[in-house]
A and B are shown apart, each in its own frame.
Chain A
């Protein structure tokens, strides 16, 4: 892949294989590398793919606006994750207030053919994740879906690594019986 890179002063950054990039170019690269994964994460947090796309798109717009301060793709990714978790959370809270929805709706459950695990069990597990207390649900998804370290999760959620451990282990404990019987 080749890219013509702007050399405008003030917008240069180190970006993966590329030497420098502007905010526009950074957004494109971040989009290619992370958009789908972030939408999936947000969709699992929200239980709704359409809203998840909006949340993630708005986070990308925010990264573009903050690029002069961020410059570093690692920082930008951390910023994106934090913004997406916070915005997903605000969306859930807003929904809970406006529509009196339960604050933690079960995530979308695509059809069972996709899965190795039996469809009913998967549905149950995803529903159980949806019913976890908010921090446990976030921690479980960031750890076991996004494969983030405890330190990264602590940073993203604004909590200590000890709290991450405890949320993850409680979350996992709540799902254990369902997971142990899954095939």
Chain B
């Protein structure tokens, strides 16, 4: 701790009181004896949680793929990379969904050489035309500034089924549905290649257009790219960015690490997300609004607006409070047909103001 309170000041009467309080609390603390074998308990809890997480991993990936696509059937499920991808026939809805490949790793036949390998390719037995991918965008409003939000979009199924490349391509070529979000990557930027090195680092080579983006947006745009990659390949935890084959050390004036690490979610993700309904989605009169939040005391507030007025409002709890990130949902029923907006936000613990707003326009049919 480098920035402690100032030194004791005998002229300040409070300091004597404070000194006594410090002394008292210190000896009070000394009298509390934590158990000696707690490390063993912590390790057991970590192991138990790891086991739970492994069971949970596939479900989570599927949820990421399916979240927010209320009207879209999850029609196909895959995949262990390098083993198999199975696609079922798409549902009647034209958005056929194949949620796929979280695990980007060496194929079983890979040699142990450290050379970078091409993103693993999964054989495809029968391909639907598109599948859902998660893409991150940057908030372009003042508040919260430069935080990331996730949307679902659909990507054409590539013959090689290169999930990471598909997701990055979707991020570069698909504008955000929500008008509050944007991507600062220059128009026309394409993906030359995606390689995975050391199993956990994505080496992404972009076309020359990527070199010239808006000043000050490089760092968050690199995180946008990395979070988008991780959504498709959760094992990835680093990004090496190249432009036309050349490793870059800065992006649009912002310095960039040789291997960019993902910043903690509570530093780069919007504190409150609405993940369903999506922007401009049409829903039934009873609509479940759901999202993610990393908010003080887990309290998420929401409003349903119609014609600029607040029709309903309330608050709900996310599954866990900040700094962790929880999920939340609330069901609103009895909405008459017509256009609505839902806003979700955090009420500032500092001054009670509305902050970290996310909003979605939707229509009740």
* Residues of A bordering B, CB below 8 Å: 9-10, 24, 27-28, 31, 35-37, 39-41, 43-44, 49, 53, 56-58, 60-62, 64-66, 68-71, 75, 79, 82-83, 86, 89-90, 107-111, 114-117, 122, 125-126, 140-141, 143-145, 147-152, 157-160, 163, 169, 172, 175-176, 179-180, 182
Separation of A179 and B296 alpha carbons in the complex (Å): 33
B41 touches A149 (CB 8 A): no
- Which residues from A are CB-within-8-Å of B20? 117, 179, 182
A86 touches B297 (CB 8 A): yes
B35 touches A53 (CB 8 A): yes
Separation of A36 and B34 alpha carbons in the complex (Å): 6
Is the C-beta of B282 less than 8 angstroms from some C-beta in chain A?
A: no
- Which residues from A are CB-within-8-Å of B261? 71
B45 touches A57 (CB 8 A): yes
B17 touches A145 (CB 8 A): no
Flag the segment in B68-76, B98-106, B160-168, B319-327 that touches A: B319-327
B1 touches A40 (CB 8 A): no
A159 touches B350 (CB 8 A): yes
B4 touches A147 (CB 8 A): yes
- Which residues from A are CB-within-8-Å of B296? 158
* Residues of B bordering A, CB below 8 Å: 1, 3-5, 14, 17-18, 20-32, 34-35, 38-39, 41-42, 45-46, 49, 53, 198-201, 237-238, 261-265, 296-297, 321-324, 349-351
Inter-chain residue pair count (beta carbon < 8 A)? 156
Identify 18 residue pairs between A and B in the complex whose beta-carbon atoms are under 8 Å apart, listed by A's number.
A27-B46, A37-B29, A39-B34, A53-B38, A60-B42, A61-B45, A64-B46, A71-B261, A75-B264, A83-B324, A108-B32, A110-B31, A110-B32, A114-B27, A144-B25, A145-B28, A160-B351, A176-B17
Separation of A45 and B198 alpha carbons in the complex (Å): 44
A163 touches B323 (CB 8 A): no
**Interface contacts beyond A57-B42, A83-B323, A148-B1: sample of 18 additional A-B pairs, CB < 8 Å, sorted by A:** A9-B238, A10-B198, A37-B29, A40-B29, A49-B32, A57-B45, A64-B49, A75-B264, A79-B323, A82-B323, A90-B321, A110-B31, A116-B27, A117-B20, A145-B26, A149-B3, A157-B349, A158-B322
A114 touches B30 (CB 8 A): yes
The 7 A-B residue pairs with the shortest CB-CB distance in the complex, in nearest-first order: A110-B31, A10-B200, A145-B25, A40-B29, A39-B34, A149-B3, A9-B198
- Which residues from B are CB-within-8-Å of A65? 46, 49, 53
Closest-CB distance, A6 to chain B (whole angstroms): 13
B25 touches A122 (CB 8 A): no
B264 touches A69 (CB 8 A): yes
A110 touches B42 (CB 8 A): no
A44 touches B265 (CB 8 A): no
- Which residues from B are CB-within-8-Å of A157? 349
- Which residues from B are CB-within-8-Å of A140? 21
A44 touches B28 (CB 8 A): yes
A114 touches B31 (CB 8 A): yes
Closest chain B residue, CB of each to CB of A168: B18
Separation of A50 and B3 alpha carbons in the complex (Å): 32
Closest chain B residue, CB of each to CB of A64: B46
Closest-CB distance, B44 to chain A (whole angstroms): 10
Closest-CB distance, A150 to chain B (whole angstroms): 8
Known: A114-B27, A158-B322, A159-B350. A39 touches B32 (CB 8 A): yes
Closest-CB distance, A72 to chain B (whole angstroms): 9
Separation of A114 and B23 alpha carbons in the complex (Å): 12
Closest chain A residue, CB of each to CB of B238: A10
Tell me which of A40, A43, A69, A108 contacts B265 (CB under 8 A).
A69
B18 touches A27 (CB 8 A): no
B29 touches A145 (CB 8 A): yes
Separation of A150 and B4 alpha carbons in the complex (Å): 8
A163 touches B350 (CB 8 A): yes
Closest-CB distance, A133 to chain B (whole angstroms): 14
B322 touches A86 (CB 8 A): yes
Closest chain B residue, CB of each to CB of A65: B49
Separation of A116 and B262 alpha carbons in the complex (Å): 49
Closest-CB distance, A77 to chain B (whole angstroms): 9
- Which residues from A are CB-within-8-Å of B351? 160
A172 touches B4 (CB 8 A): no
A62 touches B324 (CB 8 A): yes
B264 touches A179 (CB 8 A): no
Known: A9-B200, A69-B262, A179-B20. A57 touches B323 (CB 8 A): no
Separation of A129 and B98 alpha carbons in the complex (Å): 57
Known: A31-B42, A35-B38, A66-B264. A116 touches B23 (CB 8 A): yes
A143 touches B42 (CB 8 A): no
